[in-house]
Structure 1
Amino acid sequence: MEERRASDKTTESFIEQLVKIGHLSEKQADSLTNQAKEQAIPIVLYLAKKHVLEPKALAKVASRYFGVPLYDLTVHNKKLIPISLLHLEIVKKKYAIPILQKNNTLVIATASLNLPEFRNLTFLTKMEIEFVLAESDKIEDIIEELKSFQSLEKKTFGAEEGSSVKEKSKGLEELSTRGESRAEDIFSGGGSDGDVTPVVRFLNKIILDAIKTNSSDIHFEPYEKRLRIRYRQDGILYEIANPPLEITNTLVSRLKVMANLDISEHRIPQDGRFKLVLKKGEPVDFRISTCPTMYGEKVVLRILDPSAATLDVGILGMDKKQQEQFLNSVQQPQGMILVTGPTGSGKTVTLYSALRLLNTPEKNISTIEDPIEIYMEGINQVQVNIKTGMTFSTALRAFLRQDPDIMMVGEIRDVETSEIAIKAAQTGHLVLSTVHTNNATLTISRLINLGIKPFDIISSLILVIAQRLVRKLCPHCKQAVKPSTVIQSIKSSKLATMFNENDVKEIFVPGSCERCNNGYKGRIGIFEVLTISEEMVKLIMMEATAMELATQARKEGILMMAESGLNKIKSGLTSFEEINRVI
């Protein structure tokens, strides 16, 4: 470390060295040192200002004397400067510019290696510090650029003492951080409120508002002339802010530091996690994904709020018969239960609602997930890690040697995983997993296409659930209308042909109020729950098509997804428009 290596040398001894090698007389040295102290300017900078030595020559002498590398700032990409790690006022005061973060080490370029003054930088940043020396005029140029950028921030977000920033950041004092990530260093890392820049306040507010509005994702998307920020609420994206494009690099760097990602790498995608804890003590986990685009890096934050996921089978949205079939199946000592649907259809919540019921001291439960989205005490949860060879199939093999009762596999994607999962389900274990198909009967066809023999399917599979999430109508502003009014507008829809207007006197359409998102608030599931009856077994052994299996399911009175949706419409929970959107 440069700090330790140079710790026995000071700027005073450096001046003595300049006298010794003939750059200054003793009289000049004393005079210049006193003048620098009177003006509160570091002596090395004062020497450059008075042109005693050219900045480049002065930096070279200092580099040799202190044994610290000389760095050429003219070749450094200024967009990569992690300025969010060190407040601009500190940069201006100490002529110390953070130029690179390497894991938990921050590299700082300075023209004046006054180590005693730099002692508190480790405290402020919560990082190890490495120094490099740079020419004072180059540092001044960068500081001027940063000051110009700060002016842009203030113009956009309001002055430090003005009402705009304070009002936009109102409520941010509720946000503190601690725990497993570096986020605590940034949000509450020992600096005063004055050390928080307008961009930081703005980002804090974006995150806090997303949590308050139960958003599932935050999108930061750079374009040619603007930065678009969107929330995903109840499955739909809404644009919520358009700050200037110039803040993109600062904002992205800050998010990367929070997740301990490499802020200097902007050519390839990166993934990470971090945790924030509200002052109420509620932890909120975030998953971050970055991806380079034409105009900069797009960042998506997935909010993994455990308090937002209510793991109760009774409120998933299943009707009475479906719920009974589900509960009966998860209580079986062995077999396989598959949940299918597109990404974001609520499969994880359905599986964890089952695991919550099964999670007792008498059961050994293990899961392999990519990623772990819901943490549950009492369950052995394993994260997929391709780099270390921890795949779904690898974990399943390990679980089978761990005396398991119940196993949950995040997704059956390949032949190897499906074969191991089915073998486990046939040998005294309950296996829960997901598959990406459009409906329940297609799931069986999917297993056959993966090469699973029909006999292995019928001897292991006990239940298939297909599901979608639909937005619920806001109870405060939904509007009752005659069924015929809506049917006329969607008469070409398959749903319209299935709906009998005489079943209900009225149905509901979205209204608008301050409590909801365009007439909707919250989501609920619509389901197909397929049990494997004797007739189904015969059809599977004959390798029947998904259509033939669906025909048999209807004969057995299984509620199809469209019918589940119609029931939600009739009960006033959602609208025709919403069911049409997801089916």
Structure 2
Amino acid sequence: MPSALRLRGLKSAEIDFLLSYCHVSGADMGESVRSLGMGSSELVMQAASIRHGYPYLAPAAIDEIDPRDIAQYAPKLDENTSDIPHVPIALSEDRSALLVAINNGFRYQDTVNRIRAYDKRLQVQFCLASKKTIQNIFRREFFDTRRLFDDARAGAGEDRYNKMLEALLLHACYQGASDIHLNPLPGRAGVCYLRIDGTLETFCFLTRSDREDEMGEPGEFDRIVQAIRADTNQTDSDIIEGGLDKAIPEAVKGKFRFRVEITKAYFGNRAVVRILNLADDAAEFHDIGFDPVTEKKLLRAVRQSAGMLIVTGPTGSGKTTTINALMRTVDAMETSIQSVEKPVEIPEGLWVQHNARTHQDTSEAEEWLRWFKALMRCDPDKMFFGEIRDAETTAVALDGANTGHTVLTTMHTRSTAGAITRIRNLRRSMTGEGLDMDMVASNLLGILATRLVRKLCLHCRLPEDRREVLDAINRVHPDLADHTSYKANPDGCPACKGKGYKGRRLVYEYLDVTRKARIAISEGKSEIEIESLIPEAERLWGTALRFVALGVTAYDEIQRVILEER
């Protein structure tokens, strides 16, 4: 393994550190690479593929799998199984060979024996994939988690509502949902949505008691919301915030965290459950999908000895994943990397990460300020500050950048130029004064804006024939006009579960704060003037349109996610 890891880019000093750590801790070398932040689980599997001579299966391959012809070869496991031995990936056209993903190159013979129990003449070929990739493929494509909910719903007794909630949480986790919405509807009904790949999907309708019939029997919807409320240990109020504990299924305990918000809406109580995957680790920066020029600029920025880099975008746009992957390109053995986050989403063993908690006697802004000032006294080189949202924390972040630290942070704005406008409009709470924009201009390294767009299903996408779409591509990307672009099939197919889309990818724009940009910021130029510093083809709309031209996503999808430039 050490020689394979060296081929994948780890330095000799990192290998020596890793060997010493494993000797003292008794930890597995491959797992230690991930837990220490020296590389992701995908880098470990890339090294293993070199060692064993099998092809490597990237996580993005999940989006290309069609489960219809290969489901019979999937292992028969229950919801509590964590060690999934293998998953089928594809069947050859003549149906004589099956490609199977495994995690351990030494255990291939067991897999061969299991597969050939279905067909002794079948040739089995192997590729290596991370445990996370194998689990995601199995649970999304071959395991019927919906049946668990239906079985719980068909049960009897008071306990069935708790079982329904557990089955709902399990299904949402295994299908890659980021949120569960339980919304009351007029009359005696409620609806459950799952947010998957950034859009809400209807999961089921539930019976609900009529709010005017106070003596009526609570329905399924009410009982599930009550079970969520009880698990938060919060007193009755119009707004309840908390986390789940007892309701978490055993199969996902320690792997997922659930944040709850219950509010009194017009038609009754509604609940939103946010799902955080604790098993996620940072992606490899080079696998995120930046073009070579933008990638080079970002790497140059994070390797500066001082300055501030901002990643902006709405919630769920890939900001934290991108920052963590970028910071992983910095040698954490030679550089002190420290962070303040709320909460820590991706643990990195060689970094010093702090979970910021708000005390009852201080506001959130005061708490962030206290943490950031403390971090400045801890001798950091690179600092990741979860988010800047007010003038005071922004001023301290700028001071950190001005005194010889590289500060990376996030902000909620729709574009890179919008981030400048927001910083310009921030006012200190005590004096009402704004920030020194000369200081902002001199310390900013760059601003990256991100979005996630859904990818078209490769098995059912349709050729794009609308003139307006083809003209838009030709205007911004004339060099790509000859490529075939596609649109989503409104009926979808079994491979994408009728959605027309499968998976997501990052689109972005990067404002490199050059001398020209510094002058524009310092002189108070308008948002449009600052935006014009980025070529049209490299703005959010332009990069998204490039992926439409290449057949990755659809024009309708980028219109949904990004404000169209006209």
- Band of TM-score, shorter chain: 0.5 to 0.7
Q: Is the 8 A contact 1:269 1:292 kept in 2?
A: no
Pick which of 227-236 and 377-386 moved more.
377-386
Does residue 276 of structure 2 align to residue 304 of structure 1?
yes
Q: Is the 8 A contact 1:335 1:429 kept in 2?
A: yes
What pairs up with 1:118-129 in 2 under 5 angstroms? none
| 1:194 CA drift (Å) | 9.7
| 1:375 alignment counterpart | 347
Over 3 Å counting, the alpha-carbon distance change for 1:251 and 1:339 in structure 2 is same
Does residue 229 of structure 2 align to residue 253 of structure 1?
no
The 1-side partners of 2:197 and 2:252 are apart by 25
Q: Which runs of 5+ in 1 are unaligned?
A: 1-169, 176-192
| 1:486 alignment counterpart | 466
| 2:302 alignment counterpart | 330
| 1:198 alignment counterpart | 160
Q: Flag the structure with more relative contact order, 1 or 2, with Cα contacts below 8 A and sequence separation at least 6.
A: 2
Over 3 Å counting, the alpha-carbon distance change for 1:274 and 1:523 in structure 2 is farther
| 1:566 CA drift (Å) | 1.5
Provide TM-score, normalisation by structure 2.
0.63
| 2:64 alignment counterpart | none
| 1:488 CA drift (Å) | 4.2
Percent of residue pairs identical? 28
Q: Is the 8 A contact 1:216 1:233 kept in 2?
A: yes
The 1-side partners of 2:341 and 2:480 are apart by 47
Over 3 Å counting, the alpha-carbon distance change for 1:242 and 1:286 in structure 2 is same
| 1:525 alignment counterpart | 506
| 1:407 alignment counterpart | 383
Size of the alignment, in residue pairs? 389
| 1:567 alignment counterpart | 546
Does residue 444 of structure 2 align to residue 468 of structure 1?
no
- Aligned pair partner of 1:217 in 157, 167, 179: 179
The 2-side partners of 1:237 and 1:488 are apart by 28
Whichever residue aligns with residue 289 of structure 1, its letter is: E
The 2-side partners of 1:268 and 1:261 are apart by 13
Q: Is the 8 A contact 2:477 2:537 kept in 1?
A: no
| 1:338 CA drift (Å) | 0.3
Over 3 Å counting, the alpha-carbon distance change for 1:280 and 1:469 in structure 2 is closer
Answer with 1 or 2: which has the greater Rg. Answer: 1
| 1:535 alignment counterpart | 516
Does residue 287 of structure 2 align to residue 315 of structure 1?
yes
What pairs up with 1:113-512 in 2 under 5 angstroms? 171-174=78-81, 197-223=159-185, 224-245=187-208, 246-258=219-231, 260-262=232-234, 264-272=235-243, 274=245, 276=248, 279=251, 283-308=255-280, 310-358=282-330, 360-377=332-349, 378-385=351-358, 387-389=360-362, 391-450=367-426, 451-479=434-462, 481=463, 483=464, 485-488=465-468, 498=476, 500=478, 503-511=481-489, 512=492
Over 3 Å counting, the alpha-carbon distance change for 1:538 and 1:384 in structure 2 is same
Over 3 Å counting, the alpha-carbon distance change for 1:270 and 1:339 in structure 2 is same
| 1:578 CA drift (Å) | 0.8
| 1:459 CA drift (Å) | 2.1
Over 3 Å counting, the alpha-carbon distance change for 1:171 and 1:208 in structure 2 is farther
Q: Is the 8 A contact 2:281 2:347 kept in 1?
A: no
| 2:39 alignment counterpart | none
| 1:114 alignment counterpart | none
More helix by share: 1
| 1:357 CA drift (Å) | 3.1
Over 3 Å counting, the alpha-carbon distance change for 1:379 and 1:571 in structure 2 is farther
| 1:490 CA drift (Å) | 8.7
Q: Is the 8 A contact 2:356 2:371 kept in 1?
A: no
| 1:304 CA drift (Å) | 0.7
SS in 2 for 1:553: coil
Indicate the RMSD between aligned Cα atoms, in angstroms: 3.0
Over 3 Å counting, the alpha-carbon distance change for 1:402 and 1:294 in structure 2 is same
Q: Is the 8 A contact 2:537 2:543 kept in 1?
A: no
Whichever residue aligns with residue 202 of structure 1, its letter is: M
The 1-side partners of 2:282 and 2:249 are apart by 19
- Aligned pair partner of 1:513 in 476, 486, 493: 493
The 2-side partners of 1:194 and 1:270 are apart by 30
| 1:553 CA drift (Å) | 2.8
Whichever residue aligns with residue 255 of structure 1, its letter is: I
Q: Is the 8 A contact 2:493 2:500 kept in 1?
A: yes
| 1:351 CA drift (Å) | 1.6
SS in 1 for 2:510: strand
| 1:553 alignment counterpart | 534
| 1:579 alignment counterpart | 558
| 1:499 CA drift (Å) | 5.5
SS in 1 for 2:496: coil
Pick which of 444-453 and 517-526 moved more.
444-453
The 2-side partners of 1:278 and 1:323 are apart by 41
